[in-house]
Structure 1
């Protein structure tokens, strides 16, 4: 999917964190999109934008996903919960992915996974793309140390 194809796209981001905020900044700078964010760690989003709507709730529940317009969503990003252990975070992400895919099987989903043991579960649950954060971090360090950055 090219960046230009993002215009008029409905995007759902699960989890409010630095990665989500950076993603929003980049996408809204280059595309005309509508972004919904689901999170239950903050009551009010400390971020303001006309193209962003915040839905307080648990993304593992159908009711929350429906309030976020999951049926009209084209792309979903599921970010890892860094406040939980890797196993718990990945479990929450995979359960959210299952709920999302059950309500909108055609939505393109990108999931962040913290533990390599959860990668296959994310794929089985229907993830279109799996981002294994630890591998990206390790590869960046190795490239930096070898002078290939």
Structure 2
């Protein structure tokens, strides 16, 4: 490697690395020089390097001391050059750490992990979602993308924050979307509902363009945009307004001594839903027999999906066939 190539590589290194290399070279140089000047006092180059470090750091243990005038001149030069270099390295490293922490909080640092969850849109819903994920699996890594939030202290939330527009490829690359496990796109409820849905659809297109296989869960506020979200590449469309409207209806007209909202909330917190094909041993069985089969496995059969129709709690005598999809509820694993 010629000098120009070395300079090209050296100056492209991070500042802390360049300073560390410079410190090592200077200490090695002074260690070798003092060994050559006073071989009896400094029997090996390593002894000289040890003396150079403790002298340059102004610690001065006194276990190795130059005795000749030439050796002491070398010591003076070491203090003037090496000591300042060591101090500069330590302060630069500290400043770099502080700057990196600031950049993390401001969403300027790219994420390089994998198997993470990408959540798009910071609001109270996603904040609570992050808390729920952290309680269930503290090791699960989460990347949050938001363009309205200027700072998210990483010490306060278990997420890696990326500031930017999630519909832009460069921002998704920062979030390492290609290595993510799944994506949740939350609607911006501050925006007009139609505008918020258009932003969600654009983000869905961008995510799908960067990762053809990743599961995308998109929140849509208006019914008219549900099909567009699916066309854009969303695997699951969460129509939050429909869900809340249904809950409101049940709260207004529920029977006495029932609490629909709390019941649904606790059900979703403690249990998980699964859609499974009909087990071969249940072909031509009745719905009642299937309920007993799943109860023996500590699971509850809620209904079936047949030809696109959802049949919740159907007649006990209805016969099941191998094209049915069963809706099961079970405890979180």
Q: TM-score, normalised by structure 1?
A: 0.90
- 1:4-39 CA-partner distances (Å, limit 9, x unpaired): xxxx84100010001110110001110221100110
Partner of 2:224: 117
SS of residue matched to 2:188: coil
For residues 253 and 179 of structure 2, what CA distance do their matches in structure 1 show? Answer: 45
Partner of 2:187: 80
For residues 42 and 20 of structure 1, what CA distance do their matches in structure 2 show? Answer: 13
For residues 115 and 136 of structure 2, what CA distance do their matches in structure 1 show? Answer: 12
For residues 245 and 190 of structure 2, what CA distance do their matches in structure 1 show? Answer: 21
Partner of 2:130: 24
Instruction: For residue 82 of structure 1, report the CA deviation from its aligned partner.
Output: 1.2
For residues 135 and 43 of structure 1, what CA distance do their matches in structure 2 show? Answer: 31
Structure 2, unpaired ranges of 5+: 1-113, 261-333
For residues 195 and 132 of structure 2, what CA distance do their matches in structure 1 show? Answer: 29
Conserved 8 A contact 2:115-2:179: no
For residues 42 and 128 of structure 1, what CA distance do their matches in structure 2 show? Answer: 27
* Structure 1 residue 90 corresponds to structure 2 residue 197: yes
- 1:87-126 CA-partner distances (Å, limit 9, x unpaired): 1100000000000011011111111001111100001111
Partner of 2:238: 131
Partner of 1:5: none
SS of residue matched to 1:43: coil
Instruction: For residue 146 of structure 1, report the CA deviation from its aligned partner.
Output: 2.4
Partner of 2:177: 70
Structure with more helix by fraction? 2
User: What is the count of residue pairs matched by the alignment?
Assistant: 141
For residues 139 and 105 of structure 1, what CA distance do their matches in structure 2 show? Answer: 33
Partner of 1:35: 142
For residues 219 and 189 of structure 2, what CA distance do their matches in structure 1 show? Answer: 11
Instruction: For residue 144 of structure 1, report the CA deviation from its aligned partner.
Output: 1.1
Q: TM-score, normalised by structure 2?
A: 0.41
Structure 1, unpaired ranges of 5+: 1-7
For residues 212 and 133 of structure 2, what CA distance do their matches in structure 1 show? Answer: 23
SS of residue matched to 1:33: coil
Conserved 8 A contact 2:178-2:210: yes
SS of residue matched to 1:112: strand
